[in-house]
Amino acid sequence: MGGAVKGVETGYFRDEIARSAYRFQKSLESGEMITVGVNKYREEKTEIPQILKVDPLLEQNQVLQLKRLKAGRNPQTINDCLVEIRKAAESGKNIVYPVVAAVENYVTVGEITDVFRGVWGEYRESL
């Protein structure tokens, strides 16, 4: 096949997962495989849980905390950390050390992943 990357590029893993899921579902539906609560020994009455509603104040507090964090950082240090992550990602070197250094300097996950997206792009499933 050519390794894991080739497997992802050719859709091998996606297809194998789909085939496996199909076989699993057919074995459930036929009764060949028993899953308690799904196709055997089901409760007649099912309680519907309450939907989690997040308090809008919680979001506002998070945004404020993030703004305070960003305002208290040294912009040059943040930039240096992001440059080191980009260099490591572009060169194929180990990214763990620059990422850890960045996190220790309060670089956000969003800022780090923006660098990764800039270097490697985003995965888009091809159908």
SS (H, E, C) 47-60: CCCCCCCCCHHHHH
Which parts of the chain fold into alpha helices (H)? 4-10, 12-30, 56-71, 75-91, 96-104, 109-120
Predicted TM-score (pTM) of this structure: 0.61
Is there a domain that residue 84 lies in? yes
Task: State how far the Cα of 96 lies from the Cα of 39, in Å rounded to an integer.
Answer: 45
Q: Per residue in 30-71, pLDDT tens?
A: 989 999 988 888 888 888 889 999 899 999 999 999 999 999
The mean of the pLDDT values for the chain is 93
Residues 75 and 32 in one domain: no
pLDDT value at position 77?
98
Q: Stretch 101-119: mean pLDDT, rounded? A: 97
Range(s) of the domain holding residue 94? 71-127
Task: Supply the pLDDT for residue 125.
Answer: 79
- Residue 37 sits in the same domain as residue 78: no
Pairwise CA distance, residues 81 & 98, whole Å? 7
| Residue 117 within any structural domain of the chain | yes
User: For residue 73, which phi and psi values (nearest 5 degrees)?
Assistant: -90, 160
Number of domains in the chain: 2
- Would 28 be classed as within a structural domain? yes
